Amino acid sequence: MRTARFLADEVLTMVNSDVDAEVYIDTGSSSLTRFANSFIHQNVSEDASEITLRVAVDGRVSSATTTVSTDDSLRSFVDATIETASKQPADKEWAGVGPPVEIPDVEHWDDATANADPLQRAEVVKAFVDAGDGLSAAGYCQTEARTHAYANSAGRVAEGRFTTAVVDGIHQTGTSAGSGHAAGSTLRTLDAAALGRLASQRARDSAAPFDAKPGDYQVILSPECIATIAVFLDAYGFSAKVAQEGMSFARIGEQQFDRSINIWDDATDSEALYVPFDFEGTPKERVDLVRSGVVSSLLHSRRTAAKDKTASTGSAIPGGDVFGPFGVNMFVGGGDRSVESLISSVDRGIFVSTFNYCRVLDPKTLVVTGLTRNGTFMIENGQLADAVTNLRFTQSFIDAIGPGKVGGIGNDQRHADSEFGPMLVHAPSMHLKAWNFTGGADG
């Protein structure tokens, strides 16, 4: 069996020496165990490789992806990609391929997770289901073990591997649902029973909700909600491409957020996931995006870095020429408060477990509309009170965590599933002093 590195080198040898080329290989396994009505109904596993080639012929650039790796198919794939490039207009912003670099010696890998079998995932599912004590459960347990490799015509090479494990599920009554989520690089560290208890408690407590009046409320947002906020900041603000197009909120050096807010991207952190290099083989290191509320940096690929006469931050992604660089190892700094302490500081407010169907209305100010889901509760006199029906919000994410707007940050930071899963963000719970709820789920 050909390794990812061998496959990358093999593709490069098929490219003419006068053509700039880079190859990215993603190979490995992905296994999924799904359950509904408290029973496992699907167990699938896939071993697959994806080969992406980008070439530049006299400044004319083309890229293509294939999953077929026989010698004949690869040669046809390479020839077709070069032929397509030769017919493109010159790309004046093409930054070329990078020279050899040293890749951080970091690996987020666990052998037991890589070798997890259906029975082990079933045991995780059982723990989640049993914790519901008779409620109807649905969700999934997923494990991945993947190797990525990069090589280019200038001699740059990189190779790394990683594992991930995710448990995501809900418990349902006849009228309500509650959710639980956990993720990391190791399956054995995910406490599915605790997740099941949390989901079932939220479901039971939500069984008889009432309609809350629209308006501004103090809120306690779970890590899932904060992860969604971080992903929107990532895509619409911290991307250097968005900034170069004049559409980013980010103003380097300004106090745009509360002093308690720290956000960074770091593939080398022990809690991070994935590999320590990007789609262009650029090594990743910690990039502080917000320090004590001050915007301190943007995320760059080679293309955006050349335009700004700076260095890439290792943030190139597939499709990045269109979408721009993106942080895939995002961290939102945690605090020193328990969730119970955050709740106790609120006289009247709303606790939100997850967001759903969030859509941006104004990219420059990051006004977003969306819904609450799977456990929304009033807070009265510092305690969780009755459940409320799902609410619609229309809120600037920037303003929500702006100067003086953060009442406290939890010490429960973990990998949380953003509304745009499977984009995981390491995030805590947070107390925000104002959040604009504009109506119910119907309007």
Q: What is the CATH number of the domain that holds 19?
A: 3.30.2290.10
**Domain check: are 22 and 167 in the same one?**
yes
List strand residue ranges (DSSP E) for 135-225, in order: 136-152, 157-172, 177-184, 215-221
Looking at residues 45-71, what average pLDDT do you find? 94
**Domain check: are 120 and 198 in the same one?**
yes
**Domain check: are 179 and 227 in the same one?**
no
pLDDT at 300 over 90: yes
Task: Write down the pLDDT at residue 322.
Answer: 86
**Domain check: are 386 and 241 in the same one?**
yes
Cα–Cα distance for residue pair 348/386, rounded to 1 Å: 12
Cα–Cα distance for residue pair 27/10, rounded to 1 Å: 15
Looking at residues 279-307, what average pLDDT do you find? 97
**Domain check: are 111 and 214 in the same one?**
no
Out of 207-211, 272-276, 368-372, least confident range: 207-211
**How many domains does the structure of the chain reveal?**
2
Residue 196 lies in domain = 4-202
Specify the 3-state DSSP secondary structure of 25: strand
Would you say 221 and 154 are in contact if contact means Cβ atoms under 8 Å apart?
no
Q: What is the pLDDT of residues 347-401, one digit of tens each?
A: 999 999 999 999 999 999 999 999 999 999 999 999 999 999 999 999 999 999 9
Task: Write down the pLDDT at residue 321.
Answer: 85
**Which residue among 202, 231, 265 closes a domain?**
202
pLDDT at 302 over 80: yes
**Which residue among 168, 202, 236 closes a domain?**
202
pTM: 0.95
Looking at the chain, how many residues does it have?
443
Q: What is the pLDDT of residues 61-109, one digit of tens each?
A: 999 999 998 999 999 999 999 999 999 999 999 999 999 999 999 999 9
Q: At what angle do helices 118-130 and 192-205 cross, to 10 degrees?
A: 30
Structure tokens at 403: 């100067």
Task: Write down the pLDDT at residue 16.
Answer: 87
Q: Which residue has the tokens 């208890």?
A: 197
Task: Write down the pLDDT at residue 36.
Answer: 97
Looking at residues 323-348, what average pLDDT do you find? 96
Q: Which residue has the tokens 């006849």?
A: 174
Q: What is the pLDDT of residues 221-246, one digit of tens each?
A: 999 999 999 999 999 999 999 999 99
Looking at residues 261-266, what average pLDDT do you find? 98
**Domain check: are 337 and 248 in the same one?**
yes
pLDDT at 442 over 80: no
Task: Write down the pLDDT at residue 396.
Answer: 98
pLDDT at 115 over 70: yes
Cα–Cα distance for residue pair 66/195, rounded to 1 Å: 38
Q: What is the pLDDT of residues 410-438, one digit of tens each?
A: 999 999 988 776 668 999 999 999 999 99
Q: What is the pLDDT of residues 27-41, one digit of tens each?
A: 999 999 999 999 999
Residues 6+ apart with CB under 8 A from 422: 166
Structure tokens at 227: 């992860």
**Domain check: are 50 and 182 in the same one?**
yes
Continuous segment of H or E residues that includes residue 429: none
Cα–Cα distance for residue pair 391/353, rounded to 1 Å: 12
Looking at residues 310-326, what average pLDDT do you find? 93
Looking at residues 205-218, what average pLDDT do you find? 94
Percent with pLDDT over 70 in the chain: 98
Structure tokens at 310: 């700076």
Residues 6+ apart with CB under 8 A from 326: 234, 235, 239, 299, 315, 317, 320
**Domain check: are 177 and 285 in the same one?**
no
**Domain check: are 317 and 392 in the same one?**
yes
pLDDT at 443 over 60: no
**Domain check: are 234 and 196 in the same one?**
no
Cα–Cα distance for residue pair 35/24, rounded to 1 Å: 34
**Domain check: are 126 and 231 in the same one?**
no
Would you say 304 and 244 are in contact if contact means Cβ atoms under 8 Å apart?
yes
Task: Write down the pLDDT at residue 320.
Answer: 85
**Domain check: are 377 and 347 in the same one?**
yes
**Which residue among 141, 171, 202 closes a domain?**
202
pLDDT at 249 over 60: yes
**Mean pLDDT over all residues of the chain?**
95
Query: What's the burial of 119, exposed, middle or buried (CB within 10 Å: 0-12/13-18/19+)?
Result: exposed
Q: What is the pLDDT of residues 151-197, one digit of tens each?
A: 999 999 999 999 999 999 999 999 999 999 999 999 999 999 999 99
Looking at residues 198-209, what average pLDDT do you find? 95
Structure tokens at 19: 């053509």
Q: Are strands 348-362 and 215-221 parallel, antiparallel or unpaired?
A: parallel
Phi, psi of 330 (to 5 degrees): -80, 140
Would you say 396 and 434 are in contact if contact means Cβ atoms under 8 Å apart?
no
Residues 6+ apart with CB under 8 A from 428: 223, 226, 332, 333, 334, 335, 409, 410, 411, 412, 413, 414
